[in-house]
Chains A and B, each alone.
Chain A
Amino acid sequence: MTQRPTLWLGDQEVAFEPGETLLEVARRHGKEIPTLCHDPRLKPAGACRTCLVEVEGSRRLLPACATPASKGARVTVESARVDRHRKSLLSLYLTDHPDQAAMRERKRPDELLAMAERYAAPTDWPKLDSLRAERKEDPNPYIDFDAAACILCARCTRYCDEIESVSAITLAGRAAETTISTADGRSLLDSSCEMCGGCIDTCPTGAMAEKRPIARKSKHEDELVKVRTTCNFCGVGCQLDLNIDPSARGGAGEVVKVTSPPVGTTTNDGNLCVKGRFAYDFIHHADRLTTPLVRGADGALVPATWEVALRRAADGLLGVRERHGADALAFVSSSRCTVEENYLVQKIARAAIGTNNVHQCAAT
Chain B
Amino acid sequence: MTNSIGEIRDADFLFVIGSNTSEAHPIIAMEMKRAVHRGATMVVADPRQIFMTTMAKKHLQIRPGSDVWLLNAMAHVIIAEDLVDHDFIQNQTENFAAVREAVRDYTPEKAEEVTGVSAEDIRWTARTYATTERAGIYYTLGITEHSHGTDNVYALANLVLMTGHLGKPSSGMNPLRGQNNVQGANDAGATPVFFPGYQLVVDDEVRRKYEASWGVPLPPEPGLNLNQMMKTLGKQLKGMFIMGEDIVLSEPNVAKVEEGLSSMEFLVLQEPFLNETARYADVIFPSTVFAEKEGVFANSERRVQLVRRAVQPPGEAREDWIILRDLAAALGAEWHYADAAEVYAEMVKDTPKFAGLSHARLERETLAGKTGIQWPCVSEDDPGTVYLHKNGVLRGKGLFTAVHYRPSEELPDHEYTLVLSTGRTLYHYNAATQTRREEGLFTKQGEAFIQIHPRDAKRRGIADEEMVTVRTRRGQVTCRAILSPQLRRGSIWMPLHFPEARANLLTNDAGDPVTQTAEFKVCAAEVERAETQPPRSGDGPTFRGSYYREPLPSEA
Q: Give A contacts to B, CB under 8 Å.
A: 139-142, 162-166, 187, 189-190, 192, 194-196, 227-239, 242, 244, 249, 251-255, 265-268, 271-276, 278-285, 287-295, 301, 306, 309-314, 316-321, 323-324, 326-364
Contact = CB atoms under 8 A, between A and B. Distances in A.
Contacts of B321: 338, 340-341, 344
Contacts, number: 486
A363 B185 CA distance: 11
B317 A288 contact: yes
B344 to A, nearest CB: 5
Contacts of B177: 234-235
Nearest to A284: B314
B372 interface: yes
A166 B426 CA distance: 14
Given A292-B316, A293-B283, A326 B238 contact: no
A128 B142 CA distance: 57
Contacts of B225: 359, 363
Contact of A335 (B180, B196, B237): B180
Contacts of B28: 236
Nearest to B280: A295
B437 A282 contact: yes
Contact of B437 (A190, A287, A292): A287
Interface stretch (B77-85, B114-122, B214-222, B389-397): B214-222
Contact of A333 (B25, B190, B210, B303): B190
Contacts of A282: 273, 289, 433-435, 437-438
B192 interface: yes
A260 B245 CA distance: 28
B34 interface: yes
A340 B547 CA distance: 38
B97 interface: no
A335 to B, nearest CB: 4
Contacts of A187: 540
5 contacts: A267-B6, A271-B30, A279-B434, A306-B318, A332-B240
Contact of A278 (B181, B244, B289, B438): B438
A254 B182 CA distance: 28
Contact of B180 (A231, A340, A358): A231
Nearest to A285: B437
B310 A301 contact: no
Given A228-B308, A267-B6, A278-B440, A283 B291 contact: yes
Interface in B498-541: 515-518, 520, 540-541
Given A235-B299, A310-B330, A336-B244, A229 B343 contact: no
A190 B540 contact: yes
A292 B313 CA distance: 13
A211 to B, nearest CB: 9
Contact of B296 (A268, A271, A338): A338
Contacts of B283: 292-295, 309, 312-313, 316
Given A279-B440, A342-B181, A360-B190, 19 more contacts: A141-B440, A189-B540, A229-B308, A235-B179, A236-B27, A239-B305, A274-B426, A281-B439, A292-B286, A316-B239, A316-B265, A320-B239, A337-B243, A337-B295, A340-B295, A345-B190, A356-B223, A357-B229, A364-B251
B281 interface: yes
Contact of A290 (B229, B250, B317): B317
Contacts of B192: 356-359
A193 B321 CA distance: 39
Contacts of B12: none
B477 interface: no
B378 interface: no
B310 A359 contact: no
A342 B184 contact: yes
B327 interface: yes
A314 B327 contact: yes
B289 A232 contact: yes
B240 A336 contact: no
A345 B547 CA distance: 39
Interface string B249-277: 01110000000000001101001111000
A322 B541 CA distance: 57
Nearest to B292: A283
Nearest to B34: A163
A102 B256 CA distance: 59
Given A289-B271, A342-B189, A267 B214 contact: no
3 A-B pairs closest in CB distance: A290-B315, A237-B299, A235-B177
B340 interface: yes
B481 interface: no
B182 A235 contact: yes
Nearest to B433: A282
Nearest to B247: A332
Interface in B191-228: 191-193, 195-196, 201, 210, 214, 216-219, 221-227
A150 B116 CA distance: 50
A345 B520 contact: no
Contacts of B293: 338
A28 to B, nearest CB: 15
Contacts of A141: 439-441, 443-444
